[in-house]
Amino acid sequence: MKRALLFLAILLYLNPLRAQDPHFSQFFASPLTLNPAYTGLFSGDYRLSGNYRSQWRSIATPFVTGTAAIDFGILKNVISYTDIWGVGIMAMYDRSGGGALTSSYISFSTAYHKGLDPEGNHTLAIGLQGTLVQKRLDNSKLQFENQIDNNGYNPMIPSNETLVNPKISYFDPNIGILYNGLVGESSNIYLGASYYHITQPTESFMNLTQNRLSYRWTVHGGGSVPVNGKDRFHGSILYMKQSTASELTFGGAYGFALSDMDDNPTTFYLGSWYRLKDAVIPYVGVEFKGFQVGLTYDTNVSTLNPASHYRGGVEISLIYIHTRNQNNKYKTLCPRF
């Protein structure tokens, strides 16, 4: 009974009146879910990225979210050498409530990064993203109040509930802006904002036309500085708000250089982020040969921790940047972390 009540509390905590978007603790390693203006901003030919998150496994059937994405620059020989035009596609999957609700997303994004100086060390980008959304509700995995008797939940009691639309689909446009700049010779700083669900599409399984998806807006920033020559410290901060729910996350990681290769270094990362009044998020990562792998675990410190015992969610990120020409024109300090 304790776990059932806790699971209900989690649902209410994550979904007060209106559903919230899936999100990642490693927001810095999921560029196309954070801001469409990140599309194409990296040093290389193309970027592959993926994320996997499993939350509350220790309490009940976990909430599972995963993404896979690719983005790259186009018209490199046509536009100015200080500019970048990126395009990308991302697929995202989200399952909650023991599979009762499954959401699938396909996003197409583009961003133009305009150089603000002759060397292209400072850029300002505007990004657009269109998402095709499908959500499916499995009535057989739902539990209703009239199925509870003196002994608790009884699946043999009919729910007498009928879903008008067990599957819904809609188109969802998003927009973002991002500044990225070089500070001195080897430090960088970035600041961005994004606005999701511009049209606030109707989202209802019961034909309730007034049930519109709340817009979500984010402000985020960060930067990196060299330490002792080859090591680097990366820091970042995110503020996000959707309907009555808000999130403030901040932290950083120290990158220990394990090799002397300037073009293709091997780096070990160790750090932590903190989501205000919710979780401490230790981070460990490694970067080598174009790959960057990160691992975090949400250590729950909210009012749920007496039942969760400080356990939250595990998350894995993977980014691979392919570069044929090490001397390509995009060798700048692009936003990371």
Domain definitions of the chain by residue range: 21-322
Structure tokens at 13: 């905590």
Q: How confident is the model at residue 46 (pLDDT cuts 50, 70, 90)?
A: very high
Q: What b/e sequence results for 77-102 when a residue is b if at least 16 CB atoms lie within 10 Å of its CB, and e otherwise?
A: eebeebbbbbbbebebebbbbeebbb
Q: At 7, is the pLDDT very low, low, confident or very high (cuts 50, 70, 90)?
A: very low
Per-residue pLDDT, averaged over 220-234, amounts to 93
> What region, left, alpha or beta, does residue 207 occupy, with left being phi > 0 and alpha being psi -120 to 50 degrees?
left
Name which residue leads in pLDDT, 95 or 173.
173
Indicate the CATH number of 21-322 among 1.10.3720.10, 3.30.70.100, 2.40.160.40, 3.20.20.70.
2.40.160.40
The whole-number pLDDT of residue 3 equals 40
Using one digit for the tens of pLDDT, what is the confidence trace for 82-108? 999 999 999 999 998 677 889 999 999
Q: Per-residue DSSP letters for 157-190?
A: S------S-SEEEEEEEEEEEEEEEEETTTEEEE
Instruction: Please indicate, yes or no, whether the overall pTM of this predicted structure exceeds 0.75.
Output: yes
For tokens 């007060």, name the residue.
Answer: 16
The contacts of residue 114 (CB under 8 Å, 6+ apart) are: 82, 83, 123, 124, 125
Identify whether the C-beta of residue 314 lies closer than 8 Å to the C-beta of residue 299: no
The gap between the terminal CA atoms of the chain, to the nearest Å, is: 41
pLDDT band for position 55 (cuts 50, 70, 90): confident
CA angle 179, 183, 188 (to 5 degrees): 55
**What is the DSSP-derived secondary structure letter of residue 212?**
B
Is 90 exceeded by the pLDDT of residue 267? yes
Q: What tens digit of pLDDT does each residue of 134-149 get?
A: 999 887 777 677 777 7
Reduced DSSP (H G I as helix, E B as strand, rest coil) percent helix, strand, coil of the chain, to 5: 10, 50, 40
Give the whole-angstrom CA distance, residue 271 versus residue 274.
11
- Residue 17, pLDDT > 50, answer no
Higher confidence at residue 187 or residue 62?
A: 187
pLDDT computed for residue 11 by the predictor: 40
pLDDT at 329: 47
Distance CA 69, CA 153 (A): 41
Judged against a pLDDT cut of 90, whether residue 63 lies above it is answered with: no
How far is the C-alpha of 237 from the C-alpha of 26, rounded, in Å? Answer: 11
- Residue 242, both tokens: 């959707």
User: Rounded mean pLDDT of 290-310?
Assistant: 79
Residue 332: per-residue pLDDT? 52
